[in-house]
Amino acid sequence: MQIVQRSRVFDGHYKVNQLIVQDGEHQLKREQFAPGKAVAALVYDTARQVYVLTRQFRIGPEAEITEIAAGMIDGNEAPETAVRREIHEELGYEVDQLEEIVQMWPSPGNSAEAITVYYAEVSRKTGQGGGLAEENENIEMLDFTWDALLAEPLQDAKTVLAVQWARLRK
């Protein structure tokens, strides 16, 4: 299969492309959700010995969801820079240690979004957290012990992946 044509059919907060894909003798028309590249991190506060997650309203499920800190990469920003920025904006922490868990395509059947997921250790809270007012973020910060994190009914795929990664490492 080969992409022979690409056009932007929607250019709002998110982007949607229309692709013409050559498959042998057939041409297929497909829409591609193109939000950009993102980062996310399972954050562990080593001083307080708790995992720090977020809860915020998400458009997809039309509900508040508990998830790891996450956000979009700005322009040519390095993923490591973006995840450190997001952890500070959403949770108020400076990162002590950072380890990449995986680079993944959460929904490759229809989305061009790529997410790099990290594990971050923190111990110094230097900001308020809660997100940025200019981005209309209203993020609640939640602390979980290990047992409480395992008992939490998680619904967000990147969060489930990161917690399972941590579970395998313990």
Q: What is the pLDDT of residues 141-160, one digit of tens each?
A: 999 999 999 999 999 999 99
Please report the pLDDT score of residue 138 as a whole number. 84
On whether the pTM is more than 0.85, the answer is yes
Phi-psi region of 89 (alpha: psi -120 to 50; beta: other; left: phi over 0): alpha
Provide mean pLDDT across the span 108-137: 90
Is residue 7 a contact partner of residue 84, using CB atoms and an 8 Å limit? no
Which of the two residues, 130 and 154, has the higher pLDDT score?
Answer: 154
Residue 5 scores a pLDDT above 90: yes
**Residue-wise pLDDT tens digits, 68-98:** 999 999 999 999 999 999 999 999 999 999 9
Q: What is the mean pLDDT of residues 53-62?
A: 94
Give residues with Cβ within 8 angstroms of 123, minimum separation 6.
Answer: 45, 46, 47, 96
For each of the domains in the chain, give its residue range(s) and CATH number, in order of start: 2-32 (no CATH), 36-169 (3.90.79.10)
Average pLDDT in the chain: 95
pLDDT for the residue numbered 132: 75
Q: Taking Cα atoms as reference points, which of 125, 109, 112 lies closest to residue 72?
A: 112
